[in-house]
């Protein structure tokens, strides 16, 4: 007798994803009450069920639940289909009634398989040829994907596409593929996911670039060269010389890059504009090191584009992809702004996709307004105060996701978006978001291209770290920085640290108080390495009393905090950071306008790098200094870019590669 392994593999969680939790609960209740179907199995594996209300339901082999047949007339996956699956699982094959409780044997081990095994004929038969045609248009333009192959701990293969995630919960079955994209896009994105697995299986990699490898068009090359020329002008003259006319030129360059589908360079130019605006407004958002890194990023992307234009420059894709009904778990909020505006970035875990997303909100300020983060916490988003939204579960049928992992959520009509208390949602997140072994997580994350040429993705490093103990909490008054050492459940020390934000004066006090609680369960934030240590830039803290979001906390910052201990020295990090500071100062002043102290600092940095054993970096900084003295500022632009790229990548590799 044929056994339907696909139906046996459907867990309640997968059934809920195919339909919704309410239908699964109702079907389970009907079975318990004896109102389930009588199940029969044909020789070809077709499973049929007759319900007490006279409804006949059929589950043919080789198809998903959405292609099954039910006499109730409901659209989509109905309670009868869910009930038939559950009844089959409980009663097994044969004429088993609803009351049977003989569960067929589940597979003994997880299946090591790849969705790349499906050919295009199988895709067309299951998903339809129009879906293949739409997917081919995307492939012609090129797209990026990150593969997650099945393991014993995480047996479902899945693919992170630019604007959605696709999962394959049933081994060797295409019809049960799940995606958070809307139903209209399901066939297209499942096809793209299968093609991504094919490419990854062939190359033996997890990060793949599929299609779109035609040479960069003349229009795109022109837009990129224009942006590079503007960046070089900035490097030569410095930020003080960049007036409104230059800002307009940057805006036009950004528009040209976006029109040419060069989204990642366009993002760098947009951030350059923000840095110039912040400097002109004397805002705290301006940072010379960040300014220099953005100039180097444009050069790095231009140099690396020949090898992988899709991954380095971006691809032509829809600005946003509508998602089906999603449940998001808030992870906290970060407040920013200038004298003219305020911004709130609320971070969410999308558990089904295994990634973090960010929702942005910006408020323009009128004269005399200067709201703190605590005052902004009372402002309403999606019908709820920001303080509530930043520590809640959000269920929405009106959500769209962009390639940079920003989301747009609208309330819609008839309460299509709901905000409920967070509860224990953090501790129920998948392993991709809830980190128990930070060292292992960062080792895996380190196998990526350098940050200068990676896709510009928001919230890429946002995670929730499960805390076993808080070792220490202290304040560094010189740096205006709170630092705590917590231990994760695997025994790794994690440095939780953040600097004072004048827009959120009570933030450090609130963070210190939360970490001083008797039961600290988790801390959310940006997980990375800094100064050779595992570090977390915190967003929120979960304790036995609830969630604390420091940026939204009340207070004036007048609490007396315990002093932090001395930080251990790392000569390599110190040498690289000192040299990068010298290069940033040169970019800030402009190579044409370097002062004598700035030139001296370049020479001193080269000597320090050489003494530390970083001979390549030292040579590049010496070459820059020599070119400036002998050939002038214009000739030194490539030398500055060479040195900045080398040092930035070296520092990144050093910090991420140190256990």
Same domain (yes/no): 308, 388: no
How much of the chain, in percent, has pLDDT values that exceed 90? 46
Asked if residue 589 and residue 472 are part of one domain, the reply reads no
Inform me whether the pLDDT recorded for 601 exceeds 80: yes
Quick one: CA torsion of 219, 162, 451, 227, rounded to 10 degrees? 20
DSSP state of 491: S
Q: Are residues 355 and 431 in the same domain?
A: yes
Given a cut of 80, whether residue 657 has pLDDT beyond it is no
**Do strands 462-476 and 481-488 pair parallel, antiparallel, or not at all (unpaired)?**
antiparallel
Q: What is the pLDDT of residues 30-42, one digit of tens each?
A: 888 888 888 888 8
Say yes or no: 540 and 634 in one domain. no
Q: Would you say residue 108 lies in a domain? A: no
Average confidence (pLDDT) over 117-132:
92
Q: Which region among 68-77, 78-87, 591-600 has the lowest average model confidence (pLDDT)?
A: 68-77
- pLDDT band at residue 95 under the 50/70/90 scheme: very low
Task: Indicate if 157 and 137 belong to the same structural domain.
Answer: yes
363 and 505, same domain (yes or no): yes
Average pLDDT over residues 194-220: 80
Long-range contacts of 221-224 (CB under 8 A, 24+ apart): 222/256, 223/253, 223/256, 223/257, 223/259, 223/260, 223/262, 224/257, 224/260, 224/262, 224/265, 224/298, 224/301, 224/302, 224/305, 224/313
Please give the residue that has the higher pLDDT: either 452 or 567. 452
For residue 5, the model assigns a pLDDT of 82
Q: What is the mean pLDDT of residues 455-473?
A: 91
Angle, helix 571-589 to helix 633-656, in steps of 10 degrees? 150
Residues ≥6 apart with Cβ < 8 Å to 547: 332, 391, 422, 540, 541
Residues 242 and 341 in one domain: no
Report how far residue 651's alpha carbon sits from residue 658's, in angstroms, rounded to the nearest whole number. 11
- 503/522 same-domain check: yes
Q: In sequence order, what are the residues at sequence separation of 6 or more whose Cβ sits closer than 8 angstroms to the Cβ of residue 540?
A: 331, 332, 333, 390, 391, 523, 524, 525, 547, 548, 549, 550
What pLDDT sits at residue 14? 84
Tell me if 652 is assigned to some domain.
Answer: yes
Q: How confident is the model at residue 106 (pLDDT cuts 50, 70, 90)?
A: very low
- What range does the domain containing 578 cover? 571-656
Q: Do residues 353 and 489 share a domain?
A: yes
| Cα→Cα distances 165→26, 429, 460, 593, Å | 28, 16, 14, 49
Pairing label, strands 326-337, 321-323: unpaired
Instruction: Look at residue 410 in the predicted model and tell me its pLDDT.
Output: 77
Q: How many domains does the chain have?
A: 5
Cβ–Cβ < 8 Å for 23, 82: yes
Examine the domain organization and report whether 489 and 611 are in the same domain.
Answer: no
């Amino acid at each position: 007798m044929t056994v339907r392994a696909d139906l046996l593999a459907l867990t309640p969680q997968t059934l809920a994803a195919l339909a919704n939790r309410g239908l699964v609960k109702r079907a389970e209740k009907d079975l318990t009450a004896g109102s389930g179907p009588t199940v029969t199995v044909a020789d070809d594996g077709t499973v049929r069920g007759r319900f007490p209300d006279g409804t006949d339901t059929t589950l043919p082999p080789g198809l998903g639940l959405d292609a099954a047949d039910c006499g109730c007339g409901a659209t989509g996956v109905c309670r009868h289909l869910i009930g038939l699956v559950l009844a089959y699982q409980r009663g097994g094959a044969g004429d088993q009634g609803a009351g049977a409780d003989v569960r067929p044997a589940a597979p003994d081990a997880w299946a090591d398989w790849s969705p790349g095994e499906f050919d295009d004929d199988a895709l067309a038969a299951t998903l339809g040829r129009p879906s293949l045609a739409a997917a081919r248009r995307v492939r012609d333009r090129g797209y990026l994907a990150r593969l997650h192959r099945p393991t014993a701990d995480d047996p479902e293969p899945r693919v992170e596409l630019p604007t959605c995630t696709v999962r394959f919960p049933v081994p060797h079955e295409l019809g049960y593929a799940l995606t958070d994209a809307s139903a209209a896009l399901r066939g297209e994105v499942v096809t793209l996911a299968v093609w991504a697995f094919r490419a990854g299986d062939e190359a033996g990699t997890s990060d793949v670039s599929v299609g779109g490898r035609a040479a960069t068009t003349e229009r795109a090359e022109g837009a990129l060269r224009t942006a590079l020329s503007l960046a070089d002008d900035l490097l030569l003259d410095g930020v003080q010389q960049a007036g409104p006319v230059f800002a307009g030129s940057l805006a036009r360059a950004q528009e040209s890059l976006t029109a040419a589908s060069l989204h990642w360079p366009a993002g760098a130019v947009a951030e350059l504009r923000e840095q110039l605006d912040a400097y002109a407004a004397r805002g705290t958002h301006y940072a010379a090191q960040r300014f220099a890194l953005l100039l180097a990023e444009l050069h790095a992307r231009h140099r690396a584009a020949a090898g992988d234009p899709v991954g380095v420059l971006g691809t032509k894709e829809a600005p946003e992809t509508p998602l089906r009904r999603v449940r998001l778990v808030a992870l906290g909020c970060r407040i920013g702004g200038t004298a003219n505006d305020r911004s709130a970035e609320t971070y969410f875990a999308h558990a089904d996709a295994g990634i973090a997303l960010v929702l942005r909100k910006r408020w323009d300020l009128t004269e005399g307004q200067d709201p703190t983060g605590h005052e902004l916490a009372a402002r309403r988003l999606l019908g709820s105060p920001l303080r509530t939204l930043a520590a809640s579960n959000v269920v929405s049928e009106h959500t769209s996701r962009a390639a940079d992992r920003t989301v747009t959520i609208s309330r819609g009509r008839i309460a299509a978006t709901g905000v409920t208390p967070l509860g224990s949602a953090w501790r129920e997140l998948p392993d991709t978001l809830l980190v128990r072994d930070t060292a292992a997580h960062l080792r895996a994350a380190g196998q990526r291209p350098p940050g200068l040429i990676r896709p510009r993705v928001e919230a890429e490093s946002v995670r929730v770290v499960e805390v076993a103990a808080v070792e220490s909490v202290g304040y560094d008054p010189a740096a205006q920085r709170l630092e705590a050492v917590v231990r994760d459940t695997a025994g790794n020390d994690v440095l939780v640290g953040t600097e004072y934000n004048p827009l959120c004066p009570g933030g450090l006090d609130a963070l210190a108080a939360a970490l001083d609680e008797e039961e600290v369960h988790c801390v959310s934030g940006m997980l990375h390495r800094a100064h050779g240590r595992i570090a977390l830039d915190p967003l929120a803290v979960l304790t036995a009393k609830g969630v604390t979001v420091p940026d939204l906390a009340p207070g004036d910052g007048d609490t007396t905090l315990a002093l932090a201990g001395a930080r251990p020295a790392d000569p390599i990090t110190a040498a690289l950071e000192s040299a990068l500071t010298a290069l940033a100062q040169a970019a800030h002043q402009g190579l044409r306008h370097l002062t004598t102290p700035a030139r001296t600092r370049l020479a001193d940095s080269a000597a320090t790098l050489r003494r530390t054993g970083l001979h390549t970096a030292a040579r590049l900084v010496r070459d820059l200094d020599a070119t400036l003295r002998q050939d002038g500022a214009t000739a030194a632009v490539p030398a500055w870019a060479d040195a900045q790229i080398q040092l930035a990548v070296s520092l990144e590799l050093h910090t991420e590669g140190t256990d």
